[in-house]
Chains A and B, each alone.
Chain A
Amino acid sequence: MPELLTVCPSPHIKHPATTTTVMRDVLISLTPALLWACYVFGSRAITVTALCAISCVFFEWLTQKLLHRPITVADLSAAVTGMLLGFNLPSTAPWWMCVAGSAFAIVLVKQMFGGIGKNFMNPALAARVFLFSWPTQISAFPAPFHRLPFWQLTVKEADAIASATPLAQMRGGEMDAVSPADLFFGRVGGCIGEISALLLLIGGVYLLVRRVITWHIPVAYLGTVALLSCLAVPAGMETAEYVLMQLCSGGLMLGAIFMATDYVTSPITSRGRLLFGAGCGVLTVLIRRFGGYVEGVSFSILIMNSLVWYIERITRPRVFGGDR
């Protein structure tokens, strides 16, 4: 017979999904893109990503320790932030950049606002924008298949063969520099995690199947970009080709599937998610076309992050039995 029975309010059972399993699924879904980066940029892609992930976990632990908060690094959310930050850096990123970016993401953007669930900006993206303070280092994109070994903590200038990303080439009018197939499969230069649209889509499908994310944000985001790109096809280009190149280049796939869908910094209502995704799409197209910087995904998502509260307010579901 029992010593004591637990008396507490219902429900008494719990679905097995927890924050930890959700974050683990995100880590799994990012792995194919990381392996591909390893193939294209060399094993240093793993060094950068792992350094970011480990730094993020460390800073989360340290802040919580110093602030006497419960230690929650086991929820893997810091590891996800770190992995996403790594994905947003070039494979040539020096080690101190990884550490500084991680510290910014976790300490300033996440923990200072109260930790998991309380930050209003996507920590990885905010850290990336913070790292734009070192423009040379953050845009030293090596040419594809110029592989760097994992033990190289700092990259000598001779190794960092700066190559223009496909978006920059397109901006510069070199439309034939890359083929849409290269972009789709990821045989191009760029940040570690953004190059292969195919593998990112596979990761996205995994997250959809595991019900970690819903379709609303990626579909609204990519759909808006595709639609608006149709309106601005440069002369001498097939519409379909141009749209495909817009969708697969830069950080759009990574952003639409993994960054804009970040729970904490996106709306919780379905209609709000559609609105949020569409807003990101409009801003991305505008920045890409009129902005001073060739890439617009990070800024678009961060701007939309700051509007989430208002989006949620105007997209509240109608309560069952309430007025229509």
Chain B
Amino acid sequence: MKYTFRGGAHVKEHKHTAACPIEPLRDVGQVAIPMSQHIGIHCTPTVAVGDYVYRGQMIGDVANGLGCPVHSSVSGKVLAIEKRQNVMGTVIEHVIIENDGQGTLAPEIVPRTKGLSETSNEELIEIIRRAGISGMGGATFPTYAKIQSALGKVDRVIINCAECEPYITVNHRLMLEEPMSILGGTQILLKIFGVMKARIAVEDNKMDAVRVLRRARDASRRIRIKIMKTKYPQGDERQLIYALTKKEIPAGKLPADVGCVIFNAETCAAIYHAFVDNMPLIDRLVTVDGDCIRTPKNLRVPIGTSYTDLIAACGGLKKVPDRVINGGPMMGFAQWSLDTPVTKGTAAVLVLSKDKVQKQTLPSACIRCGTCVKNCPMHLMPNYLAAFARTKQYAEAEKLNVLSCVECGTCSYRCPGQVEIVQYIRVAKGAIRAEQAAARARASAAAPDLGNGGKK
């Protein structure tokens, strides 16, 4: 039996790099490491211009609050600390480090001698925090914080290897080449949560990876490999949990509220390396693909490497690019410059020409075909939401649960009328959230007067 959910669409897979082994990329001139690669408070640099830093040395940290530290991915000299735009267009501090090519590891990075059973949960969570691990599927929520918030509430751990976005194959390659790191990371998570059940969810277009994982796991049956139907957005945590457990996460709630906690495959491997090798998160796997790339590849790259270096490592461009995407084509962010660095959330860099991206052939018009309704994984009525957003009737959109939208983009992808449905929905969500925030601010500003308010 294959696990699946209602809605979604089969998006053309484009998994051209599925057979490309992971190649390490070490030869980069300099790296630009953003001081915030996670949801939460930005890091403050802990190094100064001119300092020599080791590979794996912490270069930025958050004193208190939500956030995790950032480490140098190369050894060399700090050239500059300057404000640059990150992938989202926000201006944040970047530490620019010149790579001396030696890759000298920081002296504190030595394999751990203490076994898993002798390590307490508090120690494990601190190890994960210090390693700077944040969700590598793209959301980049600090992993230690996710673990803390879910402790004691869950009865199963789910490892997300669905990889439903087109083009991206890094999780596929990771399962094939390093199954032990995923399984090892899963064991650590099982220990932290004190639960017996872990499920590794893999889409059925990666059956070779399923076989590898099944051979590699231990006989205890605590970790099981589940085969999911290949369908976008199978990797969305709501859909994945529903497919596996038939439980729906209520609107505005988290996986822990239905007893699950879910981690991306590469995050899981990073946890393993943080524990066993004491290695912080400084490299990540990136699929470099798209019709403009001469030789598409899967690369293991130091965080902070510029897209220019990635493209050069893949033989350069063979077509004039129209769009450079950080992440997958369904939910990734278009970039305006090839100087953008790889961050902890960059699973792919796609360079697409005009032939591959969506084009407008006619003025967009909803023909009420109902495709968006049929395919919406959240069971919304996207065409209505888009129409209300277009006419700024946000209250109406809110009544139709616009805030439940996960912005997977299936509606816009499938719309024959070429309506920018999810784009309109984002506008409505943004406006409603801003209004809610403003209302909260008004309420808190008005609060001190409440005592006298009634007597006027």
- A binding-site residues for B, Cβ under 8 Å: 1-2, 5-15, 17-22, 70, 72, 74-75, 77, 115-117, 214, 263-264, 266-270, 273, 316-322
Tell me the smallest distance from the CB of A212 to a CB of chain B, in Å: 8
Nearest A residue to B410 by beta-carbon distance? A11
CA distance A155 to B362 in the complex (A): 40
- List A contacts of B409 (CB < 8 A): 10-11
Q: Which residues of B contact A77 (CB under 8 A)?
A: 367
Asked if B47 is at the interface of the complex by the 8 Å CB criterion, the answer is: no
Bound CA span A267–B321, Å: 41
The answer to whether A320 touches B330 (Cβ under 8 A) is no
Indicate the member of B249, B337, B358, B377 with the most A CB atoms within 10 Å: B358
Nearest opposing residue in chain B for A8, CB measure: B334
Kindly state the separation between the CA atoms of A157 and B12 in the bound complex, as whole angstroms.
58
Which of A7, A17, A268, A317 counts the most chain B CB atoms within 10 A?
A268
Interface size on B, residues (CB 8 A): 64
Q: How many angstroms from the CA of A115 to the CA of B320 in the assembled complex? A: 38
Q: Give the Cβ gap from B376 to chain A, nearest Cβ, in Å.
A: 8
Contact A13 to B329, CB < 8 A, known contacts A18-B418, A19-B367, A115-B365 = yes
Do B414 and A15 have beta carbons less than 8 Å apart? Answer: yes
Q: Once A and B bind, how many residue pairs between them come within 8 Å at the CB atom?
A: 162
The interface bits of chain B over 332-348 (1 if a CB of A lies within 8 angstroms of the residue's CB, else 0) are 11111100000000000
**Could you say which of A7, A8, A10, A214 contacts B330, with CB atoms under 8 Å apart?**
A10
Check if B100 is an interface residue, CB within 8 A of chain A.
no
Task: List chain A residues, Cβ under 8 A from B184.
Answer: none
Contact (A117, B378) CB under 8 Å given A13-B358, A321-B253: no
A22 & B323 in contact (Cβ 8 Å cutoff): no
Write out, one digit per residue, whether chain B residues 251-282 have a CB within 8 A of any chain A CB (1) or not (0).
10100000000000000000000000000000
Contact A263 B9 (CB under 8 A): no
- CB-CB under 8 A from B369, the residues of chain A are 22, 263, 268
User: Do A268 and B358 contact each other (CB < 8 Å), given the known contacts A10-B331, A263-B369, A320-B248?
Assistant: no
Instruction: Give the chain B neighbours of A1 by CB distance below 8 A.
Output: 317
Q: Would you call A12 and B357 a contact (CB within 8 A)?
A: yes
Residue A320 contacts which of B358, B383, B404 (CB distance < 8 angstroms)? B404
Residues of A within 8 A of B358 (CB): 11-14
Interface centre among B250, B334, B414, B422 (most CB of A within 10 A): B334
Provide the bound-state CA to CA distance between A115 and B363, in Å.
Answer: 12
Known: A5-B323, A8-B334, A263-B370. A319 touches B417 (CB 8 A): no
Q: Are A7 and B335 in touch, CB under 8 angstroms?
A: yes
Q: Which residues of B are in contact with A by a Cβ distance under 8 Å?
A: 9, 11-12, 166, 238, 242, 248-251, 253, 317, 320-325, 329-337, 350, 352, 356-359, 361-363, 365-370, 373-374, 377-381, 383, 400-401, 404, 409, 412-414, 416-418, 420, 422-423, 426
Which chain B residues border A264 with CB–CB below 8 Å?
367-368
| Least CB distance, B439 to chain A, in whole angstroms | 23
Q: Is the CB of B334 within 8 A of A5?
A: yes
Q: Which residues of B contact A266 (CB under 8 A)?
A: 368
Q: How far is A116 from B378 in the complex, measured between Cα atoms in Å? A: 27
Q: State which of A2, A7, A70 has its C-beta within 8 Å of the C-beta of B321.
A: A2
Q: Give chain B residues whose Cβ lies under 8 Å from the Cβ of A263.
A: 367-370
A13/B404 in contact, CB under 8 A: no
- Known contacts: A10-B409, A321-B249. The answer to whether A18 contacts B324 by CB under 8 A is no
- A5 pairs with B357, CB closer than 8 A: no
Which residue of A is nearest B257, CB measured? Answer: A321
Across-interface contacts of B322 in A (CB, < 8 A)? 2, 5-6
- A155 CA / B383 CA spacing, docked (Å): 47
Q: With A2-B320, A13-B11, A72-B363 in contact, do A117 and B329 touch (Cβ < 8 Å)? A: no
Which listed residue, A10, A22, A70, A321, touches B333 by the CB 8 Å rule?
A10
Q: Are B248 and A9 in contact (CB-based, < 8 A)?
A: no
16 CB-based A-B contacts, threshold 8 Å: A10-B409, A11-B329, A12-B332, A12-B357, A13-B11, A13-B12, A13-B166, A18-B418, A20-B362, A22-B416, A263-B367, A269-B370, A318-B379, A319-B378, A320-B238, A321-B250
Instruction: From known contacts A11-B409, A22-B416, A319-B251, infer whether A117 and B365 are also in contact, taking CB-CB under 8 Å.
Output: yes
Cβ–Cβ contact B413 & A15, under 8 A = yes
Q: How far is the CB of A69 from chain B (nearest CB, A)?
A: 9
**A10-B409, A321-B378 given; 17 more Cβ-contact pairs under 8 Å:** A6-B334, A10-B329, A10-B331, A11-B358, A11-B413, A12-B323, A12-B358, A18-B417, A21-B416, A22-B416, A117-B367, A263-B368, A267-B370, A268-B381, A269-B381, A317-B379, A321-B250
Q: A79 to chain B: closest CB distance in Å?
A: 14
In the docked arrangement, what's the CA distance between A10 and B406, Å?
13
**A317, B376: Cα distance in complex, Å:** 10
Which residues of the other chain, A, contact B359 by a CB distance below 8 angstroms?
Answer: 14
Bound Cα distance A9, B357 (Å) = 12
CB distance from A222 to the nearest CB of B (A): 20
Q: Which of A8, A11, A269 has the most CB of B within 10 A?
A: A11
Known pairs A11-B331, A12-B329, A21-B416; A319 contacts B401 (CB<8 A): yes
Rounded to whole angstroms, the CA-CA distance of A22 and B365 in the bound complex is: 14
Q: Which residues from A are CB-within-8-Å of B330?
A: 10-13
Report yes or no: B379 in contact with A319, Cβ–Cβ below 8 A.
yes
Instruction: Chain B residues near A21: list those with CB within 8 A.
Output: 416
Which residues from B are CB-within-8-Å of A115?
365
**How many Å lie between the Cα of A136 and that of B327 in the bound state?**
65
For A9, list chain B residues within 8 Å (CB).
334, 420, 422-423, 426
Chain A residues contacting B250 (CB-CB under 8 Å) are 321-322
Judge whether B373 and A117 touch: CB under 8 Å.
no
CB < 8 Å neighbour of B380 from A10, A214, A319: A319
- The answer to whether A18 touches B416 (Cβ under 8 A) is yes
